[in-house]
């Protein structure tokens, strides 16, 4: 369950989120649309516990403190951060998962074909070459990372923006299959990415309608 009440957030003097209230039940699939710069990514970061709000309250699965909230959610950002580590380490992020758990996440994220072509597979070291990955490869690594964490809440910020239409459809179908029993909040400017969602909102000028 997620509950936001009268949430306001600003960057300096610029108001981004204005008195926003939203209740999301367990297993709801919530889509939020809006143009670039409307505050969609900011809202995802608030829900992920990455930002502390100026005013209002937020509860995510019973937690109210940003650090505790961040432990209870999985998040895929539009521009994921990759570290100078192996692909495996970028997916597991220091957590101990079984090989089968990681392999399942890699398969669901549609990474298997590419990884099988690499001489060292999952153990391929990215290092400075992380910048040489395609946007789609980086996003799929972030998706596999989120699937490995396997939280009850999945937050998506344009998770297929760097993919072509065919791969986008395939990856989004995999995400929704994986998240069937999870609470999902997905922000995007593409309505076709929100088919079958419980509710769809529009974010404009910091206000959700």
Domains of the chain, residue spans: 2-208
pLDDT band at 92 (very low <50, low <70, confident <90, very high): very high
CA angle, 132 then 138 then 143, to 5°: 170
Answer yes or no: is pLDDT of 133 > 90.
Answer: no
Q: What is the mean pLDDT of residues 181-201?
A: 93
pLDDT band at 134 (very low <50, low <70, confident <90, very high): confident
Q: What's residue 67's pLDDT?
A: 94
pLDDT band at 79 (very low <50, low <70, confident <90, very high): confident
Looking at the whole model, is its pTM more than 0.85?
yes
Q: What are phi and psi of 165, to 5 degrees?
A: -60, -40
Q: What is the mean pLDDT of residues 188-203?
A: 92
Answer yes or no: is pLDDT of 129 > 70.
Answer: no
Dihedral in degrees, nearest 10, Cα atoms 161, 172, 42, 199: 130
Residue-wise pLDDT tens digits, 32-50 = 999 888 899 999 999 999 9
2-208 belongs to CATH 3.40.50.300: yes
Burial of residue 46, with CB atoms counted within 10 A of its CB: 0-12 exposed, 13-18 middle, 19 or more buried? buried
Query: If we measure between CA atoms, which residue out of 202, 203, 71, 82 comes closest to residue 139?
Result: 82
For residues 135 and 143, the answer to whether their CB atoms sit within 8 Å is: no
């Amino acid at each position: 369950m997620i509950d936001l009440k009268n949430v306001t957030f600003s960057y300096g003097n610029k108001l981004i989120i204005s008195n926003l209230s939203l209740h999301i039940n367990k297993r709801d699939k919530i889509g939020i649309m809006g143009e670039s710069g409307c505050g969609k990514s900011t809202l995802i970061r608030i829900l992920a516990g990455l930002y502390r709000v100026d005013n209002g309250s937020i509860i995510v699965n019973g937690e109210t403190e940003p650090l505790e909230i961040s432990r209870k959610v999985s998040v895929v950002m539009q521009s994921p951060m990759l570290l100078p580590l192996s692909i495996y380490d970028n997916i597991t992020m220091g957590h101990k998962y079984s090989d089968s758990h990681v392999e399942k996440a890699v398969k669901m994220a549609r990474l298997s074909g590419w990884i099988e072509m690499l001489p060292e597979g999952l153990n391929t070291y990215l290092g400075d070459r992380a910048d040489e990955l395609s946007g789609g490869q980086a996003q799929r690594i972030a998706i596999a990372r989120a699937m490995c964490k396997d939280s009850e809440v999945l937050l998506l910020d344009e998770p297929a923006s760097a993919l072509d239409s065919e791969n986008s459809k395939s990856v989004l179908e995999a995400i929704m299959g994986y998240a069937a029993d999870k609470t999902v909040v997905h922000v995007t400017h593409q309505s076709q990415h929100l088919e079958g969602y419980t509710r769809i909102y529009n974010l404009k000028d910091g206000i959700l309608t």
